[in-house]
Amino acid sequence: MGRTVRTFRDAVDIEEARWKQFKRTLRPSQKEYLDRIFESARKSADAGTMIVTPRIAEVVLFSAIMELLKELDSLGEKVTKIEQQMKETTP
C-alpha cells in the first residue's frame, strides 16, 4: 500500500508545534502575533499545497508577509482618504 501524504495544514500544525518552546517564552501580546503568523499560513493552505517540496517555515513566513502587505495597503488607502478629506476641509 502507498504512503499517505501529509496535508499542508498538518505540516503547518507540526511546524507550529516546533515553535512551542519559543512561544512559551514570549509575552502574552507577542504570543498573539505568533498565532496570527500561523493563521496566515492556514489561510494560504491552497497555495502552500502547490509547492512540490515546501519548506513549511518559508511558506508560513511568506504567508505572514503577504497578510502584512495587505494590511499595510489597507492602512495606506485609509491615510490617503484622510489626507484628501483634510485638504478639502482646510481653508
Residue 39: inside a domain, yes or no? yes
Cell of 28: 502574552
Top mean-pLDDT range of 2-6, 8-12, 34-38, 80-84: 80-84
pLDDT tens, position by position, 13-62: 999 999 999 999 999 989 999 999 899 889 888 888 887 666 888 888 88
Which is higher by pLDDT, 45 or 77? 77
Task: Determine the structural domain holding residue 37 and report its residue range.
Answer: 8-89
- The pLDDT, as a whole number, for residue 3 is 63
Residue 66: inside a domain, yes or no? yes
Distance CA 69, CA 48 (A): 18
Residue type, 12: V
Residue 3: inside a domain, yes or no? no
Residue 61: inside a domain, yes or no? yes
Residue 78: inside a domain, yes or no? yes
Residue 2: inside a domain, yes or no? no
The total number of structural domains that make up the chain:
1
Which is higher by pLDDT, 81 or 90? 81
85 pLDDT more than 70: yes
pTM over 0.75: no
CA distances to 10, 34, 60, 84 from 19, rounded to whole Å, are 15, 9, 12, 44
